[in-house]
């Protein structure tokens, strides 16, 4: 295992015999000739041939007097004497699309990091017992210089990483999220892929500036106490001619077996994890991101595509050595990846986007797990978005969609993700998914967010969801920030901000996310009322929160609910407050307990709750000396 291949491969500025130049190193074992070409030699493949190590298939060449900023590619001749140009798989910087050449860049030069306090604090405490609320964003469409749609090929429509930092950091502080998660920034040729079909696994995309500019963004986030997670795609890559596909004229990075190597679902190629170099290539990419950009975690995209031989394809009869459908070599890679990252870095976030019921995704590898520490809860997301799209009368027949997630909520460490995938391709925006009229959609979305923050699991919300973008996400234009001029949208943003702050302040909502003793149903069976109540707990029996969610359009006045303790209660958060855009139906007075059992609880209280509302109640112990 080698997780620092980037120290040897690629283009490195060196001094040889007193002369400064660039040393190029490339793996292309099946090529018959390789040369380095660029502006410095008029792209003439006959001027700078590389030397080959026959045993390893590694080509190398030192070219004197080249400097940082040199534009280059590799000219490769395959065994059939076909000649083609390839970008450097280990390039540390690349031309702005649509240009595809690599650029000599020194990733090891000193950067004035100021995030030592953040990194030290990150390493002190387990993430399982901390609040995590993630703002997922696509840098190219969060904010823009222009809003003209696609067509500008010089990148001028995009904000620079430094400009993004200037706007994004105060926005995240205002809205209260603990982390940002950025759609893939590894270099990719096509904006339409959103970064999920890459070519440069060591090259932070030049669309938004230089690697130093991106370091600046991470540094500013960390100084402000904001974590940074990057989406990362270890399963497949794009088939563009300048990229990894058929790199030396043969299936080098992808499987030799075309059935395994081709990915018909996305029109991409699958990495071949039977090859040690490919495994080390990806392992090195992950460690490079942590080491050189100080990121706090990665979300591994499309993990299901790695786990199964026949995922996303028609049945082919493919079987592993044990006769099953599991892709054993990819599973071994994922375990090695997680073991390596957790060994090298303190308390990283290693998050799997895994859409099946594969067991033990977030279990340690020594227990037979894949070794991630979090997994997106795709089941909860699908069930709840379907449930929220139903009218209240339809919800009565589909109550299982609301409650089923608690049957498996503690089988993994989950992130409740309302991601970019749910607001594209005709699925509607989150706000537009809600049933009802204009006002009811806002009420429903606030109530849904409240239920989400009460439900066990860390949180993730895609950009635009915090202020209720009505149209679907469009990667080619910025968010509809003009909507904040309208009271309902601005009030929703205020609500999400306050909900985040409330969530972070209440350990009962996050300290026991992954253990069943942190959750208790009070009532989830009254289908006709569609009013659910449950408790979130801490290790302190006096520190718990009662969550009440009204999924109906009916108002409940003096409505009794069961409670576990004979103490007074107070309302501490309510989605119906007028500052959030609601009708201000509150429980302003202290709520007195009654010595009457209800909902399988020994005591009860009487509350008021508005239609389509979530409220949070807390027992009063310290104030009354109990």
Q: Show the DSSP H helices in 75-138 as ranges.
A: 116-122
Q: How far is CA 119 from the centre of its chain?
A: 20
Q: What is the pLDDT of residue 311?
A: 84
Q: What is the pLDDT of residue 626?
A: 40
* CB atoms near residue 229 (< 10 Å): 23
Question: Please, which residues have CB within 8 angstroms of residue 103's CB and are 6 or more apart in sequence?
Answer: 69, 70, 71, 72, 91, 92, 93, 94, 95, 206
DSSP annotation of 53 reads E
Q: What is the pLDDT of residue 625?
A: 43
Q: What is the mean pLDDT of each run of 10 residues along the chain (626 residues)?
A: 95 95 98 97 96 96 97 96 96 96 96 96 91 98 74 70 98 98 97 94 97 98 98 96 96 94 92 97 98 98 93 80 92 98 97 95 97 97 96 88 95 97 95 95 98 98 97 96 97 98 98 95 76 95 95 94 96 98 96 94 96 97 52
- Domain boundaries along the sequence of the chain: 516-619
Superfamily of domain 516-619: Golgi alpha-mannosidase II (2.60.40.1180)
Residues 47, 73: Cα–Cα separation, whole Å: 13
- Strand ranges in 363-428 using DSSP code E only, listed in sequence order: 374-376, 414-418
Question: Please, which residues have CB within 8 angstroms of residue 112's CB and are 6 or more apart in sequence?
Answer: none
Known catalytic residues are: 301, 353
Q: What is the pLDDT of residue 527?
A: 55
Sign of CA dihedral 34, 38, 44, 49: negative
Q: Select from 352, 250, 325, 195 the least CA-distant residue to 30.
A: 250
Q: What is the pLDDT of residue 147?
A: 53
Residues 214, 225: Cα–Cα separation, whole Å: 17
* CB atoms near residue 119 (< 10 Å): 15
Q: What is the pLDDT of residue 624?
A: 42
The answer to whether 268 touches 236, Cβ cutoff 8 Å, is yes
The answer to whether 249 touches 30, Cβ cutoff 8 Å, is yes
């Amino acid at each position: 295992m080698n997780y620092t291949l980037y120290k040897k491969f690629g283009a490195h500025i060196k001094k040889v015999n007193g002369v400064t130049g660039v040393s190029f190193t490339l793996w292309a074992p099946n090529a018959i000739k390789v040369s380095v070409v660029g502006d410095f030699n008029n792209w003439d493949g006959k001027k700078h041939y590389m030397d080959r190590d026959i045993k390893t298939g590694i080509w190398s060449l030192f070219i004197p007097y080249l400097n940082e900023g040199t534009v280059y590619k590799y000219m490769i001749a395959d065994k059939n004497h076909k000649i083609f140009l390839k970008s450097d798989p280990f390039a540390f910087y690349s031309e702005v699309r649509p240009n595809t050449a690599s650029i000599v860049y020194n990733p090891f030069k000193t950067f004035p990091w100021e995030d030592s306090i953040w990194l030290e604090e990150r390493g002190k405490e387990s993430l399982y017992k901390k609040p995590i609320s993630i703002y997922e964003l696509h840098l190219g469409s969060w904010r823009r210089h222009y809003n003209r749609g696609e067509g500008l090929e010089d990148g001028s429509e995009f904000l620079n990483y430094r400009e993004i930092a200037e706007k994004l950091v105060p926005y995240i502080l205002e809205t209260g999220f603990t982390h940002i998660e950025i759609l893939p920034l590894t270099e990719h040729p096509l904006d339409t892929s959103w970064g999920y079909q890459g070519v440069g696994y060591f090259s932070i995309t030049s669309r938004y500036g230089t690697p130093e500019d991106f370091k600046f963004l991470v540094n500013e986030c960390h100084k402000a106490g904001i974590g940074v997670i990057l989406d990362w795609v270890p399963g497949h890559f794009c088939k563009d001619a300048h990229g990894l596909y058929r790199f030396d004229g043969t299936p080098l990075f992808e499987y030799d077996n075309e059935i395994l190597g081709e990915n018909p679902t996305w029109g991409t190629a699958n990495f071949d994890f039977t090859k040690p170099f490919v495994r080390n290539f990806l392992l090195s990419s992950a460690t490079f991101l942590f080491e050189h950009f100080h990121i706090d975690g990665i979300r591994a995209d499309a993990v299901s595509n790695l786990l199964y031989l026949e995922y996303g394809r028609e049945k082919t009869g493919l079987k592993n050595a044990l006769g099953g459908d599991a892709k054993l070599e990819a599973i071994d890679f994922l375990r090695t990846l997680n073991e390596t990252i957790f060994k090298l870095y303190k308390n990283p976030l290693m998050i799997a986007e895994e859409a099946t019921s594969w067991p033990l995704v977030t279990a340690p590898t020594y227990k037979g797990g894949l070794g991630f520490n979090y997994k997106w809860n795709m089941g909860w997301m699908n069930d709840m978005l379907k449930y929220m799209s139903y009218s209240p009368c339809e919800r009565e027949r589909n109550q299982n969609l609301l409650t089923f997630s608690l049957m498996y909520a503690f089988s993994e460490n989950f992130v409740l993700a309302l991601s970019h995938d749910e607001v594209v391709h005709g699925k509607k925006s989150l706000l537009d998914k809600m049933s009802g009229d204009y006002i009811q959609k806002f009420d429903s979305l606030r109530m849904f967010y409240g239920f989400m923050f009460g439900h066990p699991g860390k949180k993730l919300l895609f950009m635009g969801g915090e202020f209720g973008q009505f149209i679907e996400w469009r990667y080619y234009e910025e968010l509809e920030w003009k909507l904040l001029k309208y009271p309902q949208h601005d009030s929703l943003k205020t609500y999400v901000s306050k909900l985040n702050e409330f969530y972070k302040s209440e350990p009962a909502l996050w300290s026991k996310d992954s253990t069943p003793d942190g959750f208790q149903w009070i009532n989830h069976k009254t289908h006709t009322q569609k009013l659910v109540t449950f408790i979130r707990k801490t290790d302190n029996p006096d520190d718990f929160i009662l969550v009440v969610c009204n999924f109906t359009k009916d108002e409940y006045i003096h409505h009794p609910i069961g409670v576990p303790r004979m103490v007074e209660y107070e309302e501490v958060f309510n989605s119906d407050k007028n500052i959030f855009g609601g009708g201000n139906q509150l429980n302003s007075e202290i709520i007195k307990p009654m010595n009457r059992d209800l909902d399988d609880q020994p005591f009860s209280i009487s509350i008021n709750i508005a239609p389509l509302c979530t409220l949070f109640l807390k027992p009063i112990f310290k104030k009354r000396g109990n």
